[in-house]
Amino acid sequence: MPRAMTASDKDLWGRALSMLLLGFVCYAFPWSVFAAQPETVLRIQGSNTIGAKLGPALVKGMLEEQGLRAVHQAPGDRENEVHILAHDAQGKEIQVELAAHGSSTGFTALKDGSADLAAASRPIKDAEVHDLAAFGDLRSPAAEQVIAIDGLAIILHPHNPLRALTTAQLASVFAGEVKTWEELGGTGGAIHLYARDDQSGTYDTFKELVLARQGKSLSSGAQRFESNDKLSSAVSGDPQGIGFVGLASVNQARALAIADGESHAMPPSGELIATEDYPLSRRLFFYIKPGEQNRWAQALVHFAQSPRGQAIVDQTGFIAQQVQVIKVQAQQDMPASYRELANHAQRLSVNFRFQEGSASLDGKALHDVQRVLDYLKQNDKLQQKTVLVGFGDPKADPQRAELLSKLRAMAVRRELAKGGVNLREVTGLGDELPVAANDGNAGRLRNRRVEVWIY
């Protein structure tokens, strides 16, 4: 006959049952479920060019400026995704999620609400503006924020002796029409093509500035990459390779000088990209919905435009929008008045450009007006020290081209005058000194510019 359970027996059974229950709970529900999860306060999707280095660096800088502590980066759920984590003053953990799968994905995410900011390495397309019209005008100065200037670098193996190509030659190479290095005057046999994937703003920019202008399409034989850095690594390891990446991802490869139309061959140097004279220069953007209420999104956009944010742009290998002095070497083929400037004045690293089909300054130019004003004030150049030189594209009547170029310079003068600038001279040089070919809209827009010179 079984003996009755004593109090001691009951206590042992109770402990055993408790331990079994605890073991089951820990197995079925890991401790992480019960741990406090970080709050996601900002979601950014889009460009790999921005998301690989620049985006995380700007987010970290913004969080530190906001007073958060222990700011650090952790891998995301997929390749080319990261989380930036930090703690606020109360010890609460927050995170910013960045997914860098291509510029197109950023606009899709804005539309479906899975992102608060879109990062793009090319301007928003007409179709995307239409798709997002319910949120407001994504091309308005408040929505379209230029955060940095970049250049597409055409890269080769470091031992490839080729030094320069034209955009027309590039188009033929990447279309697969030019198949060997010997056809370009080099050596090495068959050309191996490396290109970014279809979601990439880098690819969109290359397609617009190189392929489409020549009526060509990318060869089906090109190897495609989601990541700039992985593409660059592949080219630097292939003596027969050629590819295109953002400036910050040249790494161990070597960049070519590029000529477009009547322009001289230009390397992707900081100065030529800052002025957007380099033929394959481009702007990098944050897009934010008009009236966006997410304070973290607003803070990041503001921080990216600030001097500290632009310093981070420079540190991560892109071109900041800070105003600097450029020394231009006088050349005999320059117009006399321009040669005079080159001999006795200095050019600033800002070119003012205009909205398509008008003499109105574009969104970047409106920010640049304030940057130039700040520079002129800090360097005592407000009175009779500044010259504006306007340029344009060819017209049937050369005098009309000269007049339009001067009108653009006068539009900049009006904006600077509001800040107390009394100019030394305003002039227009028409279609002189083109920096791009005039056979396409993108080239004509690049040629319609106003330069700033100081004595």
Structural domain boundaries in the chain: 39-147+286-303, 150-274, 323-454
Candidate from 9-18, 34-43, 221-230, 379-388 with smallest mean pLDDT: 9-18
Q: Are 362 and 449 in contact (CB under 8 A)?
A: no
pLDDT > 70 fraction of the chain, expressed in percent and rounded: 91
What pLDDT sits at residue 14? 59
Candidate from 40-49, 241-250, 333-342, 393-402 with smallest mean pLDDT: 393-402
What pLDDT sits at residue 446? 83
445: pLDDT confidence band, cut at 50, 70 and 90? confident
Domains 39-147+286-303 and 323-454 share a fold: no
Q: 150-274, what's its fold?
A: D-Maltodextrin-Binding Protein; domain 2 (3.40.190)
What is each CA distance from 128 to 105, 216, 264, 294, in whole angstroms? 11, 24, 35, 22
Residue 236 CA, chain-centre distance (Å), reads 23
Q: Which CATH number among 3.30.1330.60, 3.40.50.1110, 3.40.50.720, 3.40.50.300 corresponds to the domain 323-454? A: 3.30.1330.60
Q: 39-147+286-303, what's its fold?
A: D-Maltodextrin-Binding Protein; domain 2 (3.40.190)
Strands 346-353 and 449-454: antiparallel
Residues making up the chain, counted from first to last:
455
What pLDDT sits at residue 33? 45
Dist CA 151 CA 266 (whole Å): 11
Q: Does residue 374 register a pLDDT over 70?
A: yes
Q: Does residue 1 register a pLDDT over 80?
A: no
Q: Does residue 358 register a pLDDT over 70?
A: no
| Mean pLDDT, rounded, for 290-301 | 97
Per-residue burial over 388-403, b = 16 or more CB atoms within 10 Å of its CB, e = otherwise: bbbbbbeeeeeeebbb
pLDDT > 90 fraction of the chain, expressed in percent and rounded: 80
| Mean pLDDT, rounded, for 311-320 | 95
Candidate from 261-265, 307-311, 358-362 with smallest mean pLDDT: 358-362
| Mean pLDDT, rounded, for 176-201 | 95
30: pLDDT confidence band, cut at 50, 70 and 90? low
Q: Does residue 36 register a pLDDT over 90?
A: no
Dist CA 66 CA 334 (whole Å): 49
Q: Does residue 218 register a pLDDT over 90?
A: yes
Q: Does residue 75 register a pLDDT over 60?
A: yes
| Mean pLDDT, rounded, for 144-173 | 96
Q: Which residues, at least 6 apart from 441, have a Cβ–Cβ distance to it below 8 Å?
A: 356
| Mean pLDDT, rounded, for 211-227 | 96
| Mean pLDDT, rounded, for 41-63 | 97
Q: What is the mean pLDDT of the chain?
A: 91
Q: Are 347 and 386 in contact (CB under 8 A)?
A: no
Q: How many Cβ atoms sit within 10 Å of the Cβ of residue 239?
A: 16
Q: Does residue 440 register a pLDDT over 90?
A: no
Candidate from 6-15, 92-101, 376-385 with smallest mean pLDDT: 6-15
Q: Among residues 283, 310, 455, 302, which one has the least CA distance to residue 365?
A: 283
pTM: 0.83
What pLDDT sits at residue 31? 46
